[in-house]
Chain A
Amino acid sequence: MTSLRTLKSLEILLESFLDRALAQKEERFTVLDGINRLDDITRATHNGDDTAEPVGNWLAEHNRWLAEDRLKPGDIDRISNMLGKISRTLESGDGSTAQTDKIGSEIEDWQKVARTVRPKLTLKRRPESAGDSSSDSIALFDNTLERLSGLFRDLSHSKQHLLSVLDGALESARLQKSTDALLLSAFMIYYLKQGGYKVEPYVKRLKEAEKLLKEAKRDA
């Protein structure tokens, strides 16, 4: 009986720990819920389902996210990529309707706002001091690697070859003026070059995307 009581106390303790751990992440959970729903909609769109209404509802429900500063840079990239895919699929569908045109326009608005709210990373080196630490630059690079890894997962989904992923990354860098997509493209190009691939056409596209990105930053 004593061990039963002890186990029941432990059961209550563990359930309480899990409840509190989740409660702390409530806001993040809401964001993940929204991203997961958009992911389902993106897949359904890709499968040919009529998703104009769910996309419209999703945008109506979540368009305040950008203004409320609730999203991490990686979230913004993911959502923008998914909305971009939906937009391209809707555009390539049989004839446009007033509803699909409206959705396309709303997605475009989201992409525009997303570009403006993305935090700009400006690395300025402070005057060196004896106790200067490089941990900030290491953390920034670490965060970038994590975002690039997520972006790579998004872009490589259902692709058969790394060259196709590179093609997608370069398109994303060019159309969305995404620094992350540009960095990921450069990384893949160097990787492929080491493997003996002819990468000159991709280097050319990378330079074009880089130029567009610089222009966009200058105009911002």
Chain B
Amino acid sequence: MLSSGEKACFRALQALRDKEYRSAADQFDKAAIDFRGNEEMNLLRETTRLLMAVKSEIRKLEKDDAIEIEEVFSDG
């Protein structure tokens, strides 16, 4: 039967296909010990991690750039 590492690796690939990058990164971490010598998996894992970091930075910058709009209602 498949080891837990292999299962995790498969789930990571499924998550990547569904563009669920956070889940993919988590599953790659679980599979890491079993696949430490597999260059292809390592490349996908590191690329996913880099993508997560890029997305996080984008979120931060977009938050900084957001303009706060305050509506002011005058009485009457």
B7 touches A36 (CB 8 A): yes
**CB-CB < 8 A to B16: which residues of A?**
18, 22
**CB-CB < 8 A to A7: which residues of B?**
54, 57-58, 61
Shortest B34–chain A CB gap in Å is: 9
A3 touches B1 (CB 8 A): no
Does chain A have a CB within 8 A of B3? yes
Instruction: List A3-37 residues whose CB lies under 8 Å from chain B.
Output: 3-4, 7-8, 10-11, 14-15, 17-18, 21-22, 25, 29, 32-33, 35-36
Give the docked Cα–Cα distance between A157 and B51 (Å). 35
Give the docked Cα–Cα distance between A1 and B58 (Å). 10
Does chain A have a CB within 8 A of B47? yes
**CB-CB < 8 A to B65: which residues of A?**
1, 4
Q: Which residue of B lies closest to A35 (CB)?
A: B2
Q: Give the B interface residue count (CB, 8 A).
A: 24
Shortest B5–chain A CB gap in Å is: 9
**CB-CB < 8 A to A17: which residues of B?**
47
> A-B pairs with CB below 8 Å: how many?
60
**CB-CB < 8 A to B57: which residues of A?**
7
**CB-CB < 8 A to B51: which residues of A?**
11, 14-15, 18
Interface of A is mostly: helix
Give the docked Cα–Cα distance between A7 and B48 (Å). 15
Question: A32-B10, A36-B7, A39-B2 are known contacts. Are A18 and B54 too (CB-CB below 8 A)?
Answer: no
Tell which of A18, A29, A33, A82 touches B1, judged by Cβ atoms closer than 8 Å: A82
**CB-CB < 8 A to B47: which residues of A?**
14, 17-18, 21
Q: Give the A interface residue count (CB, 8 A).
A: 29
A18 touches B44 (CB 8 A): yes
Does chain B have a CB within 8 A of A205? no
B1 touches A157 (CB 8 A): yes
Give the docked Cα–Cα distance between A81 and B14 (Å). 24
**CB-CB < 8 A to A42: which residues of B?**
1
Q: Which residue of B lies closest to A153 (CB)?
A: B3
Shortest B44–chain A CB gap in Å is: 6
Does chain A have a CB within 8 A of B71? no
Instruction: List B1-54 residues whose CB lies under 8 Å from chain A.
Output: 1-3, 6-7, 10, 13-14, 16-17, 19, 43-44, 47-48, 50-51, 54
20 contacts between A and B (CB under 8 A): A3-B61, A4-B58, A11-B58, A14-B47, A14-B50, A14-B54, A15-B51, A17-B47, A18-B16, A18-B44, A21-B44, A21-B47, A22-B16, A29-B17, A36-B2, A36-B7, A81-B1, A82-B1, A85-B1, A153-B3
The 3 closest A-B pairs by CB, nearest first: A14-B51, A39-B2, A4-B61
